[in-house]
Amino acid sequence: MKRPVAATVVLFVFSSLVAAQASEKDVSTIIVEARDHSLVMRHLHDLVEDIGPRLTGSRKLQKACEWAVSRFKSFGIANAHLEQWGTFPVGFDRGVMMGRMVSPEELKLDVTTPAWSPGTDGSVTAATALCPKTPEEVEASAKALKDKWALLADRPGRGSNIKALATALESVGAKGLLYASRGRTEDLVITSGNYRIFWNDLPTFPRILLRKDQTDRIAGLLRQSKQVQLEFDIDNRFREGPIPLYNVVADIPGTEWPDEYVIMGGHIDSWDGATGTTDNGTGVATTLEAARVLMKAGVRPKRTIRFMLWSGEEQGLLGSRAWIKAHPEMLDKISAVIVHDGGTNYVSGITVTPAMNVDMSKVFLPITRLSSGLPFEITVSPEGLPAGIGSDHDSFLSAGVPGFFWHQAGRANYTHTHHTQFDTFDQAIPEYERHTSMVVAVAALGLANLDHLLDRTKLRAPRRRGRRRMLGVQLDDGMRLTMVVEDGAAAKAGLLVGDKIVSIEGKPIAGSADIREALRTRKAKLKVVYERAGKKAETTLQYPRRRRRQ
């Protein structure tokens, strides 16, 4: 999802540039406070351990938003407030989520359900049967499925109609549908869901996702004619809407241009299969800590530094898009929006346009001196700022506002925690969180103190006309997929987030230029070698043949 392919990388050296916009004294005070007196892990703990996951439309999200306002106010930001951006038709709250195999062996199951879907009526233990693949086959096997858990042995493919299968199973009296999560590895269970449900037509039949390896284990026992008893206790609750939804806003007012803004933030909502730590509790915590540090340092920025925590991000950047629509008069006065939404790895760089290069070099100069072990690099992209990464900066870029997404690096495996059951507090790395908080605070002050707004020349890459082939992915510098666009060529070929592209049509892939060159061919099918979990495999990209003009 996260880190775009680099263009031209420039590592700035202190002696080669003019002084930064923030004073040496302010920067030193910020660094000492953030490094030696950091509260970032306390913020994170209070959010993800005391409050927990924060699905949009849940009571816990509302509690988290109110907590964030209170936390901002405790720093001395009196204007911190909630701003409503919309409503959801139905609220959804998740409680207990437990599964286990009772017999023929004991096995704890890692499970989830789609958000906004029903759970069980308390603890339910029942026999299990293999589920047919079509609704018609379900109806033909009604007697064998009645009062049983129906296990779909093969992982559903893209475009498969799980809802139709569930409807058929409900009609024959099955207890619920069980199927394997589409995790990047077999030990992952990924939570998602569709909020577009209505109080007078709530879903009623449980759909439970399991780990792929555990699904295979149960299916193997059933194929051996073993009697498999499974127990599930899943407490999913609906609330009648409309459910009001909010963004969190807090300002450090500017002294010279108070009606101009630098916005630092992340999204406060999360999926609810775990505690929402790396997506995006870490971004919330560093935003809060940057605000605390700047207030503690007593800085007086020239333009207003606004801290924003958006909700509805996981459902399509809803909170940030709604805010932009409600405030069109402010867009020309926003110098920059920088979003932290890449997990717990430390902030290691940022992409800028050539027109911004001089200003951003000044702003980020102090950051290059923060830690020799945690270097910071600026990427200069002649084609414009990278869009389509899938976080709230995309909303601002679409509105013509400079929106930035931090590069991040470190030892954490973001794909292991992203939307999975492993997105928990123990995955956060304290030294990275402290460092990122420093970077966010220093960058906010530096941008706020520039004597003009950032240049918007060639802000976004121009839309390319014609039928240029696209892979439909975002990649990091090692050619590992960080996002796969649904229904894109890569998704249709079965590539997943975390895969590393090794070669296309036998040509080694070392960078984005190699991919663009490989896709220029007229071939309708392209063989791709990729690496997944340390093993190489092959797949085929397919493109329609171009018709020659008559």
Q: Quick one: pLDDT at residue 111?
A: 98
With tokens 């809802």, the residue in question is 163
Residue 461's Cβ-count burial label (10 Å; 0-12, 13-18, 19+) is middle
> CA–CA separation, 83 vs 245, rounded Å?
8
DSSP 8-state code for residue 51? I
DSSP 8-state code for residue 3? P
Q: Residue 327 CB: number of other CB atoms within 10 A? A: 13
Task: For residue 270, give both structure tokens.
Answer: 């999360």
With tokens 């990464």, the residue in question is 389
Residue 147's Cβ-count burial label (10 Å; 0-12, 13-18, 19+) is exposed
| pLDDT tens digits, 477-529 | 677 877 676 567 888 898 887 889 999 999 899 877 688 778 877 788 999 99
| pLDDT tens digits, 42-63 | 999 999 999 999 999 999 999 9
Per-residue H/E/C for 257-296 = EEEEEEEEEEECCCCCCCCCHHHHHHHHHHHHHHHHHHHH
Contacts of 434 by beta carbon, 8 Å cutoff, 6+ apart:
34, 35, 38, 40
With tokens 């797949």, the residue in question is 539
Pair 253, 304: CB distance under 8 Å: yes
Cα atoms found within 13 Å of the Cα of residue 541, Cβ hemisphere only: 26
Task: For residue 300, give both structure tokens.
Answer: 């007086």
Question: Does 457 or 10 have the greater pLDDT score?
Answer: 457
DSSP 8-state code for residue 450? S
Residue 21 predicted with pLDDT over 80: no
Domains of the chain: 8-79+253-448 (3.40.630.10), 93-241 (3.50.30.30), 473-542 (2.30.42.10)
Residue 12 predicted with pLDDT over 90: no
With tokens 């220029």, the residue in question is 520
Please give the radius of gyration of the chain, using alpha carbons only, rounded to the nearest integer: 25
Alpha carbon 339 to chain centroid, angstroms: 11
DSSP 8-state code for residue 48? I
